[in-house]
Amino acid sequence: MATSYPGALPTHGRFDYQGIHARRHYRWPNGAGLAVYLGFNLEHFAFGEGLGAAIGPASPQPDVLNYSWREYGNRVGAWRCLELFEGLGMPAAALINTALYDHCPELVAACVARGDELVGHGHTNAERQGQLDEAAERALLVQCRERILHESGQETAGWLSPWISESLHTPDLLAETGYGYTLNWCHDDQPLPMRTRSGQPLWAVPYPQELNDIPMVIARQMDARDFAQMVIDQLDEMVAQTQGPNSPALVMGIALHPYIMGQPYRLLHLRRALQQVAAARDRGQVWMSTPGDIFRHAVQMAA
């Protein structure tokens, strides 16, 4: 009697499985095997409502404690982080809520003046994108892209959903509204194309959910010293993984929020970690880049 086995599980249909060992070999522009980028999350939250990371137990609205802690990032922490990046000669990708243009436009302007890439990150992190209907989600994507172009003169290619909240149609809508890559999917260490209903590929550039201060420092209550050591350990191991003649080119993102890592005692440890990244860059082991440049190079290599 034949044995019956369960069938395949439902899938997203966006990409097929392929182990990292079985892919085309390429390197980053300076010959390095590892590309590193800073994902610098600049966010704004509605007062008295909406979502947001919390340093203490949430209180009935208005939750002044947690709102003002997050606002410290825009007023103080972000500027300290930008000084650190500038001192080390590091570009950043500023993942911006477009509500910043109403609240603190000079902060976005400072990123633009440095030559940083602007990545769409919704209008506010007080909302979840995946809860919108398709028409409202399309409008959000269009409005954010248009406003970044109007206010900052950048035609943004990338997107990170607030709270990484997607609908079933998000990749399709991103491709249809002019975005080239998404940071929402953390399934690989290389940028890879995803299928969309229009046939226009949307690339997934790796964005870290481990090397990310919110899940590590806030959710897991990790000390800043230990988070910095995580960055250094990740750097050392990924550099080693890219040293062989046929080793794959990899991407290492570091996700930072200025209301967390911009706190002075944490900034001290972040500086130590980024100094190690800068040293690896200066040795030619690392291409210090942005997700947009990583995306464009991967597209070129796939052609």
- How confident is the model over 35-48, as a mean pLDDT? 96
Q: Classify 187 as helix, strand or coil.
A: coil
8 A C-beta contact, residue 258 and residue 267: no
Q: How confident is the model at residue 41 (pLDDT cuts 50, 70, 90)?
A: very high
**3 or 196: which leads in pLDDT:** 196
Residue 50 has pLDDT above 80, yes or no: no
- Sorted by sequence, the CB contacts under 8 Å of residue 299 that are 6+ apart come out as 180, 203
In angstroms, what is the C-alpha Rg of the chain?
Answer: 20
The pLDDT value recorded for residue 245 is 84
More confident residue, 229 or 24: 229
Q: Name the band, by pLDDT with cuts 50, 70 and 90, for residue 51.
A: confident
CA-nearest of 132, 90, 105 to 42 is 105
- Please give the pLDDT value at position 4: 85
**Which tens digit of pLDDT belongs to each residue from 156-184?**
999 999 999 999 999 999 999 999 999 99
Quickly tell me which residue has 């250094």 as its tokens: 232
Measured from the Cβ of residue 57, the count of other Cβ atoms closer than 10 Å reads: 8
How many CB atoms are located within 10 Å of the residue 94 CB?
27
pLDDT at residue 282 is higher than 80: yes
Buried b (16+ CB within 10 A) or exposed e, 243-282: eeeebbbbbbbbbbbbbbbbbeebbebbbebbebbbebbe
Q: pTM (2 decimals)?
A: 0.96
pLDDT in tens, 85-137: 999 999 999 999 999 999 999 999 999 999 999 999 999 998 999 999 999 99
CA distance linking residue 271 with residue 287, whole number of Å: 18
Domain 24-44+61-302 -> CATH class: alpha beta
pLDDT value for 288: 98
What is the Cα 70 distance to its own chain's centre? 18
When the pLDDT of each residue in the chain is averaged and rounded to a whole number, the result is 96
